[in-house]
Amino acid sequence: MIYDKFLVICYTRHMKVIFIKDLPKMGKRLELKDMPDGYARNFLIPKGYAIVATPAEIAKRDREVQATADKKNLEDSLVEANFKKAADETLIIKAHANSEGHLFSGITAKIICEHLSKDRRTEIPEKAVLLDHAIKTLGAHEITLQNKNKKLILHLLVEVDK
């Protein structure tokens, strides 16, 4: 830009930071990013959203990212093994119902996961049970279990509890 015969050069200095908290539209936890120097020093670092990315901090971040990835892979393999166990047999849930066969309270994904855990000792995350709405009737139902790209059908039989 030229102002009164002087050339003004606009530039901003940048620094690498590691986000230690999620900041919407800016960065997620453990993300390494190049940010404007003033913004990082005056906002991100004092407010506790980021730290300066020194070689030691980058190495520490890399170890934490790797540990998180390893833990996620282990959980995924355990969930996949539990999926196979869950879909083997029909799950029977007893619930209170009226004379027309309508349940007093619906059966949700949380209740299904609790029964799988209690009856079959199979731990499946609640988000893996795909239900459009709570089950409100007696009888046989098919529930979809999904982990990543793998889907299985869980056969559920809802019986009246006396």
C-alpha torsion sign, points 66, 72, 75, 77: negative
Whether the pLDDT of residue 29 is over 70: the answer is yes
Q: Which residue has the higher pLDDT, 10 or 112?
A: 112
* Percent above pLDDT 70 for the chain: 91
The average confidence (pLDDT) of the chain is 85
115-130 burial string, b = 16+ CB within 10 Å, else e?
bbeeeeebebeeebbe
Q: State the Cα–Cα distance between residues 147 and 149, nearest whole angstrom.
A: 6
When mean pLDDT is compared across 2-6, 21-25, 66-70, 109-113, the lowest value belongs to: 2-6
Distance of CA 150 to the CA centre of its chain: 17
Tokens 């066969």 belong to residue: 101
When mean pLDDT is compared across 31-40, 51-60, 148-157, the lowest value belongs to: 148-157
What is the pLDDT at residue 76? 77
Tell me the pTM. 0.57
Q: Which residue has the higher pLDDT, 99 or 64?
A: 64
What is the pLDDT at residue 75? 80
Give the pLDDT confidence of 131-145 residue by residue, as tens digits: 888 899 999 999 888
What kind and span of H or E run contains 153? strand 150-160
